[in-house]
Amino acid sequence: MNTIAHDQDSPEFQRLLKARQRIYGDATRCQLLQIIITVVLPVAGAVLAFVHEEARPYVALYGLIATALDVTWIDRIQRRLLKVAAKISEEFDCGVLKMPWNSFVVGKREDVEVIDAAARRWNDDPSSISGWYVGIIATARHPMARLVCQRMNLHYDSSLRKKYGAYLIAGAIASLFALLVGAVAKDLKLIDSAAVAATISPAIFWAIREHFRQSDSATANETLKGEAEKFLDSVRTSGCDDAECERWSREFQDAIFQRRVANPLVLPLVYWLMRGELEKQAQAGADALLRKSDPTRSGAATDIIGR
């Protein structure tokens, strides 16, 4: 038996989700500012440098300034917001999935004032955060449902980051190719080609950096997901008492928190484009795990999927 479906929609936990979503929204705004400064404007500057020779030194200087701003200011603000959001997510998971708070890994809980201020600033559709773990049936054994939820979250996140990382590196390669074609078409001298390359370099370096970040995060999630699957197989064959399952879940949750803090953001548009297919895959994976745990069960396994 479990109370996940009931607890997650209570005012206390809905307030945490509102705060979480608002903080992630703030981090996303920082990401969009980062993209404008390091991607959009440098690309526009590169086009300007091709057309107007006299603008090349200025747009090249902007490229250097944009890189410095990204590394020393915007990226740091974004990392701080992600840690706050990860702590709020941790508080939600610990409460709903009934796990103890691990201050050694997570530190102290986020201040109530920060959570309250963020929750009051959130004004999106309430249905987007209701039933966060979709359709969890009350008769499911809590320790097993909790473990499978953690595993499915890892799979979802890993798949999303793999695809996003592939798109990023493809964009970087396309930009480099366009730069070479443009330089040849305009018959630019070496110094002029270097000036244009300096202008667009922040955009290319941002895409390459984000690709490696996403790839590293996906790899780490895959490793952790593999460990979760090994334990699930062990539980199915040898059983697991509640205390042991809780200990394993807490260890998985520690790793999940660290991933949330370290993981780079995914653009909201990319997330919404991929969400439908990834949720179908998550449901299929959950169904397979439930059938292995309970061969008599039938139907779609949407009751243990977390977002």
> Strand, coil or helix: what is 100?
coil
- For the chain, the first-to-last Cα distance in angstroms comes to 21
Outline where DSSP puts E strands in 33-130: none
d(CA 247, CA 117) in angstroms, rounded, equals: 33
Is residue 149's pLDDT more than 50? yes
Give residue 20's pLDDT band: very low, low, confident or very high (50, 70, 90): very high
The residue written with tokens 């963020």 in the block is: 118
Give residue 4's pLDDT band: very low, low, confident or very high (50, 70, 90): confident
SS (H, E, C) 103-164: HHHHCCCCCHHHHHHHHHHCCCCHHHCCCCEECCCCCCCHHHHHHHHHHHHHHHHHHHHHHH
Q: What's the token pair of residue 28?
A: 């996303």
User: What was the pLDDT predicted at 187?
Assistant: 66
User: Going by DSSP bridges, is the β-strand pair 305-306/133-134 parallel, antiparallel, or unpaired?
Assistant: antiparallel
Give residue 298's pLDDT band: very low, low, confident or very high (50, 70, 90): very low
Nearest CA to 274 among 162, 150, 149?
A: 162
Q: What's the token pair of residue 278?
A: 């990834």
Q: Please state the separation of Cα 214 from the chain's center in Å.
A: 9
Give residue 59's pLDDT band: very low, low, confident or very high (50, 70, 90): confident
| The length of the chain, given as a count of residues | 307
Nearest CA to 249 among 148, 123, 138?
A: 148
User: What was the pLDDT predicted at 12?
Assistant: 95
User: What was the pLDDT predicted at 295?
Assistant: 46
Residue 145 has, within 13 A of its CA and on its CB side, a CA count of: 25
> Which tens digit of pLDDT belongs to each residue from 216-229?
888 888 888 888 88
More confident residue, 49 or 213: 213
In Å, how far are 62, 96, 146, 165 from 99, measured between CA atoms? 49, 8, 10, 32
Q: Provide the greatest CA pair distance for the chain.
A: 74
**Cβ of 240: how many Cβ atoms within 10 Å?**
19
Which conformational region is residue 231 in: left (phi greater than 0), alpha (psi within -120 to 50 degrees), or beta? alpha
User: What was the pLDDT predicted at 83?
Assistant: 95
> Which tens digit of pLDDT belongs to each residue from 92-132?
999 999 999 999 999 999 999 999 999 999 998 888 888 77
Percent of the chain with pLDDT over 70: 81
> Which tens digit of pLDDT belongs to each residue from 239-273?
777 788 888 889 989 999 998 898 888 877 777 77
User: What was the pLDDT predicted at 290?
Assistant: 55
> Which tens digit of pLDDT belongs to each residue from 278-296?
767 766 666 666 565 554 4
Is residue 170's pLDDT more than 70? yes
Average pLDDT of the chain, as a whole number: 80
